Amino acid sequence: MTEYAFLPPVIEVSTAERIRLVVRNIGRLEHDLMPDDRGRALGLAHVHLAPGASASNDWTAPADPAEVRIVCTIVGHETLGMVARVIVRSRADAPPPSR
C-alpha cells in the first residue's frame, strides 16, 4: 500500500492455490485493505496498517473461479483510486508462472 494505490493492483491466483498475502504500508498515511463481502466470506481478512507496518494472511483460494474487490476504507482513499482485485482463475486458464 502506498498513497492511493495497492501495488500490484491485480493479484491472480489459481483455484485452490495456497498463498500468503503480505501487506505492507509503504506510504506516509494510514491505510487499510478491505475485501468485499465475498472476499471476507472466502477468508480474506480486513487489515488496517499505520505507516511502515505490515501484516500477512495465509489463504487458500476457492475451488471455483472468483473475483474479489479490495478497497481502502479510509475516507477519500477509494475515490482517489485505492482499489485492487484478487482474481481466482481455474488452473487451465491461469497464466504460466513467471521466471
Residues 85, 44 contacting (CB under 8 angstroms): no
CA distance to 69, 82, 97, per residue, from 88 (Å): 12, 20, 14
Strand partners, 40: none
Residue 94 has pLDDT above 60, yes or no: no
Nearest to 15 by CA among 57, 61, 76: 61
pLDDT of residue 95: 58
The pTM assigned to this predicted structure is 0.86
Mean pLDDT, rounded, for 3-15: 97
DSSP 8-state symbol, 40: H
Q: What is the mean pLDDT of the chain?
A: 93
Give the CATH number of domain 10-89. Answer: 2.60.40.420
pLDDT of residue 92: 75
pLDDT of residue 88: 97
Confidence of residue 8 (pLDDT cuts 50, 70, 90): very high
**The one-letter amino acid at 23:** V
Domain spans, the chain: 10-89
pLDDT digits 0-9 by tens, 25-70: 999 999 999 999 999 999 999 999 999 999 999 999 999 999 999 9
